[in-house]
Structure 1
Amino acid sequence: MDREALEQLLQVNDQEVKMSEKQQKIVMAAIEMFSEKGFASTSTSEIAKKAGVAEGTIFRHYKTKKDLLLSIVMPTIINTAAPKFAKSFAKEVFDHQYESYEDFVREILSNRFAFVKKYFPVVKIYFQEVFYHEEMRNLFKTIFNDHVYEKFKQIIEYFKEKGELADLPAESIIRMTITSIVGLIITRFLISEDMDEEQEKERTIQFIMNGVRKR
């Protein structure tokens, strides 16, 4: 992830987070190292070396490596970036009219793939660590509920009223749609990078539609 992407990641309400140059170097180094080696296998000395700072500079503010993850990297990803990009995602995807639910699913898939490609190291850290840190899971739930859930539900109810979708609870259709898309993203970027991406996108879309389309 380049410097420009990091600067975008550190924007909140169009105002840059006030970080010193050393703090930015530490954040960038931590993101790169945690993404490459994983949290457990990365030492603070490695982060300091990559950032070009003394290890004591990190410990001046953060007592442990987990403090670094939760106090620097995760706020960067969750508190800072996630609300901003959740709002952007909602505006880019949900604030439009679609001819069909399939068109809507295609837009979600395209949007999220582009996001993951741009911010892959950060997204990779999240997937690696979310199962081990309850704070991360709770923050994600809050952000999803605050910025995405109601708009997602409204679109589903709209296409149910049009007779396109099966008479299933909106929550179930959201779950089936999201788990299929996230599953493809995890497989593509973390497990099988050499897959035929476009072909698998199309198969995933048809899999979703076969499950939620009204018969």
Structure 2
Amino acid sequence: MAEEMEQWLSSLLRLTDEEEKMTEKQIKIIQAAVDIFADKGYASTSTSEIAQRAGVAEGTIFRHYKTKKDLLLSIVAPVMSKLVAPFVLRDLHQVLDTEYEQFEDFLRAMMRNRLEFVVKHAPIVKIMLHEIPFHPELQSQFKEQLFPQVGERLKRIITHFQSRGDLIEMPPFALLRMSVSAIMGYIFTRCYLFPEHDWNDEEEIERVVNFIMHGLAPRKE
């Protein structure tokens, strides 16, 4: 966990332009804020805790950021397009760019890919799960950077299998929403709700794929 967080923070801190170089105290504040946000969540974190972890006076935080939310937005929002979208898309392109014989093969590849990603980067994903749903500014950044890169490619995959008669006629994004909900439902349960459970990922992947295909397969005359 510490190593992954250190790598993520290192990537974040390299994003600032030369004219926007952070001071040493700003870097310490950011490191402390991300660390505590990952552990406790934004709402349960106080600026005094951040200051103590960063080894600075609480007033130093407010010299740079007027409120705790300004701190969150100043850290996260500007780097969404440069870090989070590429981070979320890491290794996903190989799934999206592969041709599959059947839609269920695509589902298996997608689920294995995203499960491996979340297991490997669980603390970082936890921050995004904590904060993005409750901050419209972060939602906008996330959607603007992520959806254009993924949405159209997923739509093409779905319409391809629809044209072959493998999937029912339904708006592609409706099919996508249902598939993603089933896949992410398992991943969230497996990684965050019951991580201590003895999961058999391959069996669960097959269950999820069968569940999706049972609902999406066209009726046979």
Q: TM-score band (shorter)?
A: 0.7 to 0.9
1:122 maps to 124
SS in 1 for 2:64: coil
- CA gap of 1:206–1:46, structure 2 versus 1, over 3 A, is same
Percent identity over the alignment is 46
1:207 maps to 211
Q: Which whole-Å CA distance do the structure 1 matches of 2:204 and 2:103 have between them?
A: 19
- CA gap of 1:71–1:109, structure 2 versus 1, over 3 A, is same
Q: Which whole-Å CA distance do the structure 2 matches of 1:109 and 1:11 have between them?
A: 31
The residue identity in structure 1 corresponding to 2:207 is R
1:176 maps to 178
Q: Which whole-Å CA distance do the structure 2 matches of 1:118 and 1:52 have between them?
A: 30
- CA gap of 1:60–1:86, structure 2 versus 1, over 3 A, is same
1:163 maps to 165
1:73-115 deviations in Å (ceiling 9; x for gaps): 3444x23322323554552221111121111111221221222
The residue identity in structure 2 corresponding to 1:207 is F
Which aligned pairs between 1:179-194 and structure 2 lie closer than 5 A? 179-194=181-196
Please say if residues 109 and 181 of structure 1, whose CA atoms lie closer than 8 Å, have aligned partners that are also in contact: yes
Match of 1:44 among 44, 47, 66: 47
Give yes or no for the alignment of 1:33 onto 2:33.
Answer: no
1:16-39 deviations in Å (ceiling 9; x for gaps): x95555444333322221122121
Please say if residues 5 and 119 of structure 1, whose CA atoms lie closer than 8 Å, have aligned partners that are also in contact: no
Question: How many residue pairs are counted as aligned between the two chains?
Answer: 210
Structure 1 residue 170, shift from structure 2 partner: 0.8
The root-mean-square deviation of aligned C-alpha atoms, in Å, is: 2.5
1:140-170 deviations in Å (ceiling 9; x for gaps): 2222331111000001111112222222221
Per the normalisation by structure 1, the TM-score is 0.84
**Could you say which structure has the larger radius of gyration?**
2
Per the normalisation by structure 2, the TM-score is 0.82
What 5-or-longer segments of structure 2 have no aligned partner?
Answer: none
Structure 1 range deviating more: 1-10 or 176-185: 1-10
What 5-or-longer segments of structure 1 have no aligned partner?
Answer: none
1:161-187 deviations in Å (ceiling 9; x for gaps): 222222222111111111112222222
